[in-house]
């Protein structure tokens, strides 16, 4: 009788674990944040669909051929590939609980220096790619009436500095898209968080993760030029630990009431606070002008 009771308890525990096991869909998982989030999710006992643009076997090996890992080759800018990858992930694990839109790359250059083709490539990945993946996953989350969308933004999505203005504009877009999604999806049981990391010692400043505008205008040497020359020196010397960032994402995924906005890193907090303070000062200084545009008398209907 005791053995039966013990067996029953073990079965219940196993069923409970199965019920709480989550399925992640992570883009840009070959390195950096994506890789660390995938590794942390697997360590937490969850299942992971990890997408990469190339060499899926390499990621599988990096993550030790984990039984709960399914690697799919996918370019976020190719909508047909995105749709196919999501269907493959669903076929493999039966559902998706957490979408992490992480794929993206940086671009340094003055806004005047960056060509139309370079701008479009930046937006195709960082903004339109995010939208492609989100549109592909949301029908499944809506059907489940549950799920999380975690969009990776940046401290440059809070304010701009020379050389990173165009890249930052893609992250401003991610912030706005996330806010709109949150309002639309909340009644459907789907939660959205946009996470803005600061500078972390990932491969973001490697030649594989960011590009410099090909055009160089001498007038920007004292501003943007410093950013171009400083990127290599900063690479791998950033203050943030990507493994700790991944643990923040794991905690976020297991929080009952996650925040809509989550800045991560002391530098991100400082960027946000400085921007808010500057905006508040500007608005206060121009308040009489800003509030002077109403009709003197209400127009009759």
Both tokens of 289, joined, read: 């002008």
* Structural contact between residues 108 and 212, judged by C-beta atoms closer than 8 angstroms: yes
Q: Which listed residue (30, 70, 140, 153) is catalytic?
A: 153
Q: Which listed residue (167, 169, 178, 220) is catalytic?
A: 167
* Structural contact between residues 224 and 162, judged by C-beta atoms closer than 8 angstroms: yes
* Structural contact between residues 228 and 108, judged by C-beta atoms closer than 8 angstroms: yes
DSSP-derived 3-state class of residue 212 = strand
Both tokens of 147, joined, read: 């799920």
Helices then strands (H, E): number in the chain?
11, 9
151: β partners: 101, 194
Q: Which listed residue (22, 70, 171, 210) is catalytic?
A: 171
The reply to whether 171 belongs to the active site is: yes
* Helical segments of 145-220, H only: 165-185
* Structural contact between residues 75 and 53, judged by C-beta atoms closer than 8 angstroms: yes
Both tokens of 48, joined, read: 């992971």
Residues with Cβ within 8 Å of 273's Cβ and at least 6 positions away in sequence, in order, are: none
| Burial class (CB within 10 angstroms; exposed 0-12, middle 13-18, buried 19+) of 256 | exposed
Active site residues: 153, 167, 171
């Amino acid at each position: 009788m005791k053995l039966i009771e013990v067996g029953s308890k073990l079965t219940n525990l196993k069923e409970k674990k199965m019920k709480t096991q989550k399925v992640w869909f992570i883009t840009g998982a070959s390195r950096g944040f994506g890789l660390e989030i995938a590794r942390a999710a697997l360590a937490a006992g969850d299942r992971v669909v990890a997408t990469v643009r190339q060499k899926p076997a390499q990621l599988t090996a990096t993550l030790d051929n984990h039984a709960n890992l399914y690697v799919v080759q996918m370019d976020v800018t190719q909508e047909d590939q995105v749709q196919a990858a999501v269907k493959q992930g669903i076929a493999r694990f039966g559902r998706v609980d957490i979408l992490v839109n992480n794929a993206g790359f940086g671009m340094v250059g003055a806004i005047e220096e960056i060509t139309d083709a370079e701008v479009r490539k930046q937006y195709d990945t960082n903004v339109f790619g995010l939208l492609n993946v989100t549109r592909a996953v949301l029908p499944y989350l809506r059907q489940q009436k549950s799920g999380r969308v975690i969009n990776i933004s940046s401290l440059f999505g809070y304010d701009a500095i020379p050389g990173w203005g165009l890249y930052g504009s893609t992250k401003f877009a991610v912030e706005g898209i996330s806010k709109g999604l949150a309002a639309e999806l909340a009644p459907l049981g789907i939660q959205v968080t946009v996470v803005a990391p600061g500078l972390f010692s990932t491969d973001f400043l490697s030649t594989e993760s960011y590009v410099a505008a090909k055009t160089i205008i001498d007038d920007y040497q004292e501003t943007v030029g410093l950013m171009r020359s400083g990127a290599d020196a900063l690479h791998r010397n950033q203050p943030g630990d990507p493994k700790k960032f991944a643990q923040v994402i794991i905690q976020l995924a297991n929080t009952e009431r996650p925040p809509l906005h989550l800045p991560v890193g002391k530098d991100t907090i400082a960027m946000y606070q400085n921007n808010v303070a500057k905006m508040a000062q500007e608005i206060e200084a121009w308040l009489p002008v800003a509030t002077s545009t109403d009709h003197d008398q209400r127009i009759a209907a």
